[in-house]
Chains A and B, each alone.
Chain A
């Protein structure tokens, strides 16, 4: 079986869900004839027609709101943010209208908002963002951020089938850089479960998205150079978060490093740390540490971006500190 890229995996997932369920349709800017800025929706217009692959005006509030209305009426819309940086344009309608709809008005709101996220691509401050933490604080939304092609396909399919609004973050650095053979058949990965990316016993790295790969790289180096056995837990679902998997790895290694590409202050590492304190404090042998981006807007120049974002040597250094504690 041929290997499939992360990007193709998302497209396959969308295609299969649109084939399976006529209520699924896509909306977004330039997603039809052009196939999307990154070509995720390439070919969908030809197969499913302009009613189900809708090119929208530049109106994130407009088409996210429209998705909610259509979802109330039994449709399952999938919105593409051309870059996830523009998700903030729809922040109000997502957090105030969509996230509260079921709770305050018993309105079903099955919809997906997906788009290319993250840095390491020289995209500058407005084409590199990781705004997931801004939405983690909103009850009513779900947030997923897969790191493998297999999870990307399985989770986009879960997201489309979910009865609530799912924010689906796709890491654009991974779009064409990773590929793998995908499981055959109707491959669905449930939302809410973490994935053990690497087993270990000395130290745990809890992470998600592109930094999963940096963490795996660091783990290999630490094993080679320090003889450390490092576990890597890929959260992949941020809301709901898999507390059981987090607690299990804490109890196994008693040393935790949290790595994310988003900026440190107010980032998800803080929430994970709080949960570890509440659920497994007495199992810790060292303080929980984090490696995250510096608290600055993401700059453009390679020398600047590489300095701001977490790199493998940053993870190695923090892990060594933890192991020696």
Chain B
């Protein structure tokens, strides 16, 4: 694990965070991990309708970076940024309802997992699966801040894999030219599905790509939540000062497969265990908190208990929630009031779902 040691925070130095803030970071990381563990249980009970995406081992990246934002700042998460979304105000109940495709989930059953957002109050944007696309979108979100001279900042995540896309290049270049108040965080977790970083990119350091855009590129140990926070905080401050885009590379490791079905047969034997044993972001943070920060273990255990109680309560509510009403899916494609249903539908052909003509094997969701 020597690769990241030079980029870690100095436990002896003041982190720029109060004691409460340090405990906050622990709470969000623990909530992320425990909520995902609950989702695994629900997935095994076939209550999760689609796939399940874990961020095990990456909680510090997500939580530390998002913690550097204000409420009015806009965050664009990716599939391994559950922690970032929780920090920004997404609730476990929303996440559970999303995964279970409930009718009162944030997307009313239209979208999967943590693909949801809120740009009215909490300010995070619903992502799509086309990697890299959120970079140009966030270039535009932050361009609007610049044009209206609002002191707001945007943060967009990409993975190591997405740095290979054209959209990443076009978006970051556009934002750099326009000096948009944007922070681009590359979470380098070493795998894009099964493809290791060496097959993704010939550059040794993804942060070096910044030079090609004329912007600063910085790196930090992404499994050190304080380091992730500090490096992002500096980039956010720079953006807020009107100095433009920063590329932040956070080094981490994806300990689970792309999704829950992925058996990770492509990973070198022992690699996952070694990261779990030697470089778990929660273990490392507990060591720091109970060591140099002088926080009692009992205080952390009390947070763990609180987290589990919150997840239990949310699970109960989510499970009782009703599935969506099929006809609801015909509305909301456009801002205009819904048009009349198509003629083939009105004239009595109607859909099989309407008439409950689905084969039993249609899906795990029995609506």
Contacts and interface: CB of A to CB of B under 8 A. Distances in A.
Interface string A3-40: 00000000000000000000001000000000000000
Interface of B: 74, 107, 110-111, 115-117, 119, 125-126, 128-130, 133, 135-145, 147, 166-167, 170-171, 173-175, 177-178, 332-336, 339, 343-344
A64 B139 CA distance: 10
A266 to B, nearest CB: 20
A163 B125 contact: no
A107 B125 contact: yes
A45 to B, nearest CB: 15
Nearest to B76: A69
Contacts of B147: 25, 51-52, 70, 75
Contact of B174 (A57, A74, A102, A164): A57
**Which 4 A-B residue pairings sit nearest by Cβ, starting from the closest?**
A65-B136, A69-B140, A62-B170, A66-B140
B174 A108 contact: no
24 contacts: A25-B147, A61-B136, A61-B170, A65-B167, A66-B139, A66-B174, A69-B136, A69-B143, A72-B125, A72-B137, A72-B140, A73-B119, A73-B141, A73-B145, A74-B144, A92-B167, A102-B333, A104-B107, A104-B110, A104-B126, A105-B125, A163-B334, A164-B334, A164-B336
A54 B115 CA distance: 31
Contacts of A108: 335
Given A65-B167, A93-B167, A279-B343, A106 B332 contact: yes
A162 B119 CA distance: 20
Contacts of B166: 61
B141 A59 contact: no
Nearest to A100: B128
Contacts of B137: 65-66, 68-69, 72, 97
B107 A59 contact: no
Contacts of B145: 73
Contacts of B130: 92-93, 96-97
A225 interface: no
Contacts of B332: 102-103, 106
Contacts of A61: 133, 136, 166-167, 170-171
Contacts of B126: 101, 104-105, 107
B136 A64 contact: yes
Contact of A140 (B142, B175, B334): B334
A66 B335 contact: no
A102 B334 contact: yes
B133 A77 contact: no
B173 A62 contact: yes
A101 to B, nearest CB: 8
A67 interface: yes
A80 B107 CA distance: 32
Contacts of A75: 144, 147
Contacts of B136: 59, 61-66, 68-69, 93
A244 to B, nearest CB: 12
A65 B139 contact: yes
A297 interface: no
Given A69-B141, A97-B137, 6 more contacts: A66-B136, A68-B137, A93-B133, A100-B128, A163-B335, A164-B335
A105 B117 CA distance: 6
A322 interface: no
A243 B137 CA distance: 35
From A65, A66, A278, name the one whose CB has the most chain B CB atoms within 10 angstroms: A66
From A70, A75, A163, name the one whose CB has the most chain B CB atoms within 10 angstroms: A70
A210 to B, nearest CB: 28
